[in-house]
A and B are shown apart, each in its own frame.
Chain A
Amino acid sequence: MVALVGVGCTDAVPTLDDGDSIPVDARTVEVIVPFSDFVESLDVFAGFGSRSDAPALHVALDYEGDFQARSLVRFGVLPRTVQVFPPGETQTVADSAYVPVGGRLVVTMDTIRFPPAEPVELEAGAILSEWDVVTAGWEAAVDTLGGVRMWDEPGGGPVRDLGRAMWNAQEADTVVFAVDSVTATAWATESNPALRAARISSATSGALMELRTARFVADVRSSVNPDTVVSISAGAIGSTFIYSPEPGVSPTEIRIGGAPSRRAFLRFNLPTRFEPGSQVCQELGDLCPLDINPDRVIYAGLVLTGKGSEPAVFTPRDTIRMDARPALAEGRIPRSPLGSAIPAQPRPLLPDALREGRRVEVPITAYVESLLAQDLGLRDEEAGEVPRTVALLSPFEPTGFTFASFVGPGQEGEPFLRLILTLSEGELLP
């Protein structure tokens, strides 16, 4: 009896394999929405983050034309005392009255990412004017609001020359510059960190290289035992790089990334209905007029067309990432706080994907559904308001001086919204 009772104890819904038995006639269509039909405004802003936060410093001279880059490094203070043996003594004593007699500037170069194939000549100099590590650029030593101060010579000058040194990336990762006693004394005694700094630049035309860090090694003579010379060092406490030219934003481009970074803000105004005669309906034919609602949207992607950065040197040489995040306070754009990323993971963009004419698609399905629901009054008020403006940006700002460029509105290859909709006809009930 148990067996008889147990025969039906598995729950399995009887399933027919017969499309004709489905009372719903569903049709899935793909719709290309032109830029002007879903974006109310586009603004691109630059100035997010600081060059000093970039993971690498750059040095270049006339690279790919006239691109110049120099690295600026500040050093910490030297140790206040050195331990020396007084003459005839076996115990060391602290000597705070040591005298710098010279030293070295030791620069560590990157030998893994884009090292130059040929030996290059670098040059160094002691910076002679005050500069701000966060805001310094090619033209301005300080670029804070209301406190702009230009370099006496664009490009971080003038400097007290520390000479030149050859660097062969295949042989070494450090470059050493001799520091004269005057400079060593100045760096050892200077209390202003802005003046305890060096500028490293390239003397080889056409080279571009990355610099990791630098430190100052001083040779000091002991006041306790003048026969003793001790080497002490100070590491970098701040660094940045400055470059020229410095492209800002363009009204015909969507630019993302760079150092400082650029962000593009798109204010969405999604259509909720495609009317006959519209550009969209030319492809949809008899489906128009077509109402768009969140239930029908199964995919929405913002499609951007790559455009080589100008000047070309700013075209990314490595993978960069792109985020799409809603601007939570539209009135405070470009400084609006941003919400959670719309695609949860940043979109990695290989350099090849950013070539002219290549398309990059950012899935924004959930955002489009939420915005449509809000526009149609279908959204639960407790769920909060959906921001209308979305920022396209690099999730890490900055990553380097290069930036991604995409074709802007009004041009061939302008951004568009790709919608995939499923439309159902027929009722669920018989």
Chain B
Amino acid sequence: MTRRALNARSARISRPVPFGRVAAVTLALLVIGSGVAPGQAQAQSVFNSGGLGLQTDPMDARARGVGGVGVGLSGWQMLMTDPAAAAGLRLPSISGTFQPSVTQVSGAPEAGGTRFPLVGTSYPFGRHVFTAQFGSLLDQEWAVTAERLVDLAAGPTPALDRYESQGGIGQARLGWATRIGEQLAVGVGVGSLVGSVERRFTRELESGAVEGGLENFRQVGEWRVSGATAIAGVNWFPSDLLHVGASLEWVGDMTLAPVRGTEGVDRSYSMPLTLRTGGTFTLAPDVRLVMGVSRADWSGVDGDLGGDAARDVVWGYGGGVEWARGTVRGRAFPLRMGYRVQELPFHVRGEAAEEKALSAGFGINLADAQDLPLARLDLSVERGSRDAGALSEEYWRTTVSLRLAGG
């Protein structure tokens, strides 16, 4: 069954809901999402404390649901990890993803927050599709506290040290994609790293130690992130049953420039060259197998971080199935399951870290026009864990993506 045939089947069984309502919901989500740049996402993990932060791939709910690495998924979509996947979008579109999560660290209070890992828009022009996207890259929101005893003339005085990191690093990218014949699509994107990082150290001494009270000691620094990024990808459809994709992402040196009176000079960190490849194999008319693998070379950053702070090569792999036969009130309702393993680039407490997640999710076309889906919602839920030696945490992560128009 061809892609066109699948879409036509979907159109026949769908009853469009009022387009205005869908548009309003979608736009509201995107407005909220666009107001919070990916680099300012809220924290969700103590693993953010490793190196330059926790790697947060800019993937949508569908990619999360099938455990993929964000490349080689069937259908056309906007993914920062797969620039060629936008080549078949026939209508202008906007899409957004938000991602609430709750994390339970062993021996620590529960933490949680919401991230906006992917926001984008596309515009087809002839055989070409142009995209603009914001996506997440590294989450740096975390804190650590320690109780100390400080020797003063009055005697040992309790003190509380707190080190906080706020902010995050994202990427903004302009892309282009096109189809070459019926079996090939290519895409490229260029952009820059965006975001800021704020680090704050506070020492608070028990105020009663000195008559008149002690001030807190604060050391604060803020840095603006910059750096170039580019990606190239290809999607290949050798048959109706197989869809293969690959992308190569390059990020130049990431520079942190001090701002707002922060002392010091610019700091640069080498960023990785990331290769992603994956594919979708149609096992049965409504059953698809998705698999993918990624490889990123972070060896350059190790020296920048003082050595033994990062892995040289980081692998990620995962896979899952998508069952497309389900319907809800006559609307297509694909169900997904997947499993994904991602090595994390930065050591945490000197230990190599890894993330694993079991995922499930669904999608639904909220509105169709003939064979074109005008509004689509995807949702996935992940139950995952991160481990680094004795440190571990478990999390629930929900990813919701909405795409308006696009075709």
Contacts and interface: CB of A to CB of B under 8 A. Distances in A.
B205 A28 contact: yes
Contacts of A420: 152, 210, 214
A296 B213 CA distance: 15
Interface stretch (A19-27, A99-107, A134-142, A273-281): A19-27
A8 B201 contact: no
B46 A298 contact: no
A1 interface: yes
A4 B379 contact: yes
B112 A11 contact: yes
A contact residues, range:
35 or more
Interface in A288-322: 295-299, 301
Contact of B105 (A1, A14, A22, A23): A14
B5 interface: no
B100 A14 contact: no
Contacts of A361: 211-212
Nearest to A361: B211
A10 B102 CA distance: 8
A17 B146 contact: yes
Q: Chain A at the B interface: mostly helix, strand, loop or mixed? A: mixed
Contacts of B251: none
Contacts of B49: 16, 21
A83 interface: no
A7 B201 contact: no
B210 A13 contact: no
B261 to A, nearest CB: 9
A112 interface: no
Interface string A345-366: 0000000000000000111010
Nearest to A18: B144
B143 interface: yes
Interface stretch (B37-45, B169-177, B182-190, B280-288): B37-45
Contacts of B217: 26, 28, 295-296, 298, 422, 424
Contacts of A384: none
A298 B214 contact: yes
A125 B145 CA distance: 76
Nearest to B348: A21
A7 B101 contact: yes
A24 B217 CA distance: 12
A381 interface: no
A30 interface: yes
B199 interface: yes
A430 interface: yes
B297 interface: no
B170 to A, nearest CB: 18
B398 A16 contact: no
Given A19-B161, A301-B210, A28 B267 contact: no
Given A8-B100, A12-B109, A19 B148 contact: yes
A16 B47 CA distance: 10
Nearest to A426: B201
Given A8-B44, A8-B100, A15-B142, A298 B163 contact: no
A9 interface: yes
Contacts of B223: 429
B43 to A, nearest CB: 5
Contact of A7 (B100, B153, B216): B100
A117 interface: no
Given A15-B142, A16-B49, A430-B52, A7 B161 contact: no
A8 B102 contact: yes
12 contacts: A5-B400, A11-B112, A14-B48, A14-B393, A16-B142, A16-B145, A22-B144, A365-B215, A424-B217, A427-B264, A429-B199, A430-B51
Given A5-B379, A13-B143, A299-B214, 7 more contacts: A7-B398, A12-B112, A22-B146, A299-B210, A363-B213, A365-B215, A420-B214
Top 8 nearest A-B pairs (CB, nearest first) are A8-B100, A363-B212, A19-B146, A14-B111, A428-B199, A422-B217, A16-B144, A428-B221
Interface of A: 1, 4-24, 26, 28, 30, 295-299, 301, 343, 361-363, 365, 418, 420, 422, 424, 427-430
